[in-house]
Structure 1
């Protein structure tokens, strides 16, 4: 597995954010049963940069906490049966790993939301990565039923890692 972590801003976290990211990404893939070796890109940015990306990619003129850009289209969440048909378009030729997608996290929002929700910065950071990993594996939260399913999987991943509120 390859995890590329790019820091466009200084995170200032009191924990080893690279190790935590690697652990959360790996645990998310294992929990969901992703059947391939994967490559994931994680970029840490400030509010100005995530605002630019959100406007460019989603035409939303506002900053946000996290963005996920999956490389694979799924018929159903974590239904990896159709991935074989897409491998030509999403395999890194140098490593043979499936390019799962990109995650962009707004560092100031990690701090703000941790305070707002009354939990640690570490928990918020891990939550945003977990949330994005599920998006990269086909989960969404646009309708209540999808949101319930995604939230249950988020809780399971974080709880089994011992990262709780």
Structure 2
């Protein structure tokens, strides 16, 4: 797992703990961790990606590009730190909790989980909650 920051000074406190957690998520879904990059960025930068590559003129907290092959999970996950902060306020949770949710969300998409229908969204939310608890387990 590789962490990049683009147009933001945001830094994870303990990158190794996050790396171990992401690997644990992937393995708990019976996949193997390949190359995953997390790119922490601004609303403006992620909006540009959303318009250019997905033809969506909206703000979003996450965009993921999936390069998974077979059982090896790989991809680029772009996260807007601005949007994560706003969503945390809106949902009444702290920033770290919302960050975990969004980070898990991207990897869960690579594991095959969708969120287009209500049923898919409900399952995704349950999986996010399940995987967030793994972060707090000693590794």
TM-score by length of 2: 0.86
Q: Distance in 2 between matches of 1:37 and 1:53?
A: 25
Deviation at 1:99, TM superposition (A): 5.8
Q: Which among 16, 29, 37 is matched to residue 41 of structure 1?
A: 37
- CA root-mean-square deviation: 2.2
Partner in structure 2 of residue 57 of structure 1 = 53
Aligned with residue 153 of structure 1, among 122, 127, 139: 127
* In 1, Cα distance between equivalents of 2:98 and 2:37: 18
**Equivalent residue pairs, number:** 137
| Paired position in structure 2 for 1:8 | 6
1:28 paired with 2:25, answer yes
Shift of 1:100: 1.1
Deviation at 1:70, TM superposition (A): 1.1
Check the 8 A contact 1:21/1:129 in 2, yes or no.
Answer: no
Alignment of 1:135 with 2:109, yes or no, is: yes
Tell me if structure 2 keeps the 8 A contact 1:20–1:126.
no
1:158 is displaced (CA, Å) by 0.9
- CA-to-partner distance for each residue in 1:96-141, whole Å, 9 max, x for gaps? xx46111000011111111111111111111100000001111111
Q: Over alpha carbons, which structure has the higher Rg?
A: 1
SS at match of 2:56: coil
Partner residue, 2:66:
70
Q: Which one scores higher on RCO, CA 8 angstroms, separation ≥ 6?
A: 1
Q: Hey, what's the Cα distance between the residues in 2 that align with 1:104 and 1:20?
A: 19
**TM value normalised by structure 1:** 0.73
Structure 1: 5+ residue runs without aligned partners?
Answer: 74-82, 85-97
